[in-house]
Amino acid sequence: MNLDISFGQYCEGKSVLHRMDPRAKIIASVLYIIVVFLAKNLWSFGLLLLSAAVLILASGISPKIILKGMKALTFIIIFTSVINIFWMKGETLLFSLGFVSVYLEGILNAIMIALRIIVLLIGTSVFMTYTTTPIALTDGLEQLLAPLKKLHLPVHEFSMMMTIALRFIPTLIEETQKIMNAQKARGADFASGSLMKRAKTLIPILVPLFISAFRRAEELATAMECRCYTGGDGRTRMNVLHASPKDVVLCILLVLLGMVVIFTNGLGGYSLSW
Amino acid sequence: MSTLQKTPIIEIRDLSYAYPTDDGSASSNALDHVSLSIEEGSFVSILGHNGSGKSTLAKMMSLILIPDSGSVMIDGKNMSADDVTEEDILEARRKVGMVFQNPDNQIVATVVEEDVAFGPENLGLPSEEIRRRVDEALSLVGMSKYARHAPHKLSGGQKQRIAIAGIIAMRRRCIIFDESTAMLDPAGRKEVMDTIERLNKEEKITVLHITHYMNEAVRGDRVIVMDGGRILMDGTPKEVFSHPQRLWNARLDVPQTTELLYHLKKSGYDVRLDIFDPGECAAEIAKALGKQ
């Protein structure tokens, strides 16, 4: 078993999108999701595809990487499409085989659903994971949610937890690998046997991993306390986020895209049923 | 030793502590009536085998543990008095910092410079000031070019230097190193020791180095040997290591040069014991052999 996962999927780069304020990118992602769900006919989806292409170009990330990232979701895309083809009832019957009938509407629906998932994936991953470091995302999220502090929601604590979790993922992966090697050296077999048997072999990995994680947590807490950490109050930041005009422009562009999509929805043609 | 009439940065008076046991029965004292004062600007090594109380002492001085009896004074302020507030403890922690044994478990952020900034951010400093301190601290430990790296991709010695930078950036006057070199390979240990020495010599930061490596202990200007929760010996490295027998009794080593010279002396050669540099040691032996 190889646990060397490339974490976070962040792609180093110097594009406009990389340099944008993470807060703007989070808002942009939300707007983009709304726009994608507004699209109802092929015209609108054409427009969305175009916008996704523009996004990829603007991010400077090679389409190969994005295609690779989507491979994992190929199954979901195909599955939802196939279900749509066979389940949709429409007016134009194309052919029927026994109890399955395929309608033109079903095929159109399937294409649009597939496009919806693909565009959604491109949009959010280009805005968030590919061009924004996890730490910038947490930072952006903390500052966007800052008003909720007034409602006594633990916004700072949440983002601190995220940061520490991100920080310790590689450390714990390394540790898991070490424990697995140690158990292998004692004759443990992780690769064969029934599913139940294999699940059982995980126990001697998880128990030491948890114990060590708790020990680490305690040490880290002491170290943080020694560095005068007392929670979010009175804390300042080294890197203060500055929204620039281009961040505002990005959000405005997305609102405009939404309006255009509403307009093209009215151009006719088959309309997506949900 | 220069005895300037200054307030010691850390002063400990008649300190005792026993770790609580699960069943409430009395355990033996981890610290047994220890008194000691650390002068500002000094480089003190604390030696002792496992369980000698040296780490407990460090935890007392960084105010992680509260003593059962006796007092810890930081910069003239009694931190064990009943009226000590959270603010007082924070204030003391701004003066005395601590670097721990495991570099992995004291790094908070996913980017090196963000981690160094963690302490100053907690102090509520303006962001330009934090930026300045972070850059300065990173260049002091020689890690400037790794500022944007992820900590988990660095070596142990590099990680430990990042942890040190995080403490320097808070402008602490005293840094306690609690076996900070114990988990490192020889190269990493040398990196860290050179950094510690530079901080003491050039930045005049008081250093308290807890270790069980003898060749590290000789680099300070004072060595304190702990055994069974008490201070066994206290003096300059030359004074302390001139009595190898007492160190062996406390289940400790002596520097290899000292051990060699000790055996030569026992066999009747007239040699000094307080030499820690292999070159000087060779010269001393040559001299003694020449005389025979």
Spatial distance between the Cα atoms of A183 and A185, rounded to a whole number of angstroms:
5
Give percent of chain A with pLDDT exceeding 70: 96
Residue B53 CA to residue B59 CA, distance in Å, equals 10
Beta strands at B174-178 and B206-211: parallel, antiparallel or unpaired: parallel
Q: In this structure, how many other beta carbons lie within 10 angstroms of the beta carbon of residue A190?
A: 14
Closest Cβ opposite residue A227 in set B118, B124, B131: B118
Asked, for residue A237, whether it belongs to a domain, the answer is no
Asked whether residue A138 is assigned to any structural domain, the reply reads no
Residue type, B272: R
Total domains, chain A: 2
Q: Each residue of A9-26: pLDDT tens digit?
A: 677 788 888 889 999 999
CB contact under 8 A, B131 and A238: yes
Name the residue among A135, A163, A220 with its Cβ closest to that of B106: A220
Classify residue B191 as exposed, middle or buried by CB count within 10 Å of its CB (0-12, 13-18, 19+).
buried
Confidence of residue B81 (pLDDT cuts 50, 70, 90): confident
Residue A10 in domain: no
Residue B291 is predicted with a pLDDT of: 65
Cβ-nearest to A236 among B90, B121, B151: B121
| Domain of residue A97, residue span | 16-133+244-265
- C-alpha dist (Å) from residue B59 to A123, A181, B99, B154: 51, 34, 11, 27
Same domain assignment for residues A128 and A253: yes
Q: Are residues A70 and A196 in the same domain?
A: no
Pick from B89-93, B189-193, B249-253: least confident = B249-253
Calculate how close chain A gets to B269, using CA atoms only, in Å: 50
Whether residues A50 and A186 share a domain: the answer is no
Question: Which residue in B has a C-alpha nearest to residue A159's C-alpha?
Answer: B109
Chain A residues touching residue B86 (CB < 8 angstroms): 230
List Cβ neighbours of B64 (8 Å cut-off, separation of 6 or more): A222, A225, A226, B98
Question: What is the structure's pLDDT at B160?
Answer: 92
Question: Do B122 and A225 lie within an 8 Å CB cutoff?
Answer: no
Q: Band of the pLDDT at A273, cuts 50, 70, 90?
A: low
- Read off φ and ψ for residue A72, nearest 5 degrees: -60, -25
Q: With an 8 Å Cβ cutoff, are B64 and A135 in contact?
A: no
The answer to whether residue A3 is domain-embedded is no
- Are A21 and A125 in a shared domain? yes
Q: Is B20 exposed, middle or buried (0-12, 13-18, 19+ CB in 10 A)?
A: exposed
Same domain, A104 and A28: yes
pTM (two decimals) = 0.79
Q: What is the DSSP string of B220-232?
A: SSEEEEEETTEEE
A181 and A127 in a common domain: no
Angle separating helix axes A155-185 and A134-144, nearest 10 degrees: 150
Mutation pick from A238, A239, A242 vs chain B, by most beta carbons of B within 10 Å, is A238
For residues A152 and A121, state if they share a domain: no
Pick from B98, B123, B124: CB nearest A226: B98
CB B208 within 8 A of CB B99: no
Would you call A201 helix, strand, or coil by DSSP? helix
Residue B139: CB atoms within 10 A of its CB come to 13
Same-domain check for residues A24 and A119: yes
Same-domain check for residues A23 and A106: yes
Top residue of A10, A137, A236 to mutate, by most chain B CBs within 10 Å, is A236
Give, in words, the CATH class of B15-95+172-236: alpha beta
Residues A23, A124 within the same domain: yes
Residue A273 lies in a domain: no
Residue A139 placed within a domain: no
Nearest to A167 among B100, B110, B119 (CB): B110
pLDDT of residue A4: 38
Contacts of A109 (CB under 8 A, 6+ apart): A84, A85, A88, A272, A273
- CATH 3.40.50.300 in chain B is located at 15-95+172-236
Q: Identify whether residues A125 and A154 lie together within a single domain.
A: no
One domain for residues A170 and A211: yes
Give residues with Cβ within 8 angstroms of B100, minimum separation 6. Answer: A219, A222, A223, B106, B163, B178, B180
Q: Is the residue at A54 inside a domain?
A: yes
In angstroms, the CA B203 to CA A87 distance is 75
Span B52-80, average pLDDT: 88
Residues in A touching B169 (Cβ below 8 Å): none
Which residue is listed with tokens 């040691």? B281
Percent of chain B, pLDDT > 70? Answer: 96
State the complex-level ipTM: 0.84
- Tell me the two tokens of residue B158: 């590099």
Q: Is B49 helix (H, G, I), strand (E, B) or coil?
A: coil
Query: Interface of chain B against chain A, CB under 8 Å?
Result: 62, 64, 86, 90, 93-94, 97-98, 100, 102, 104-111, 113-114, 117-127, 130-131, 134, 150-152, 166-167, 170
Residues of chain B contacting residue A135, judged by C-beta atoms under 8 Å apart = 109-111, 114
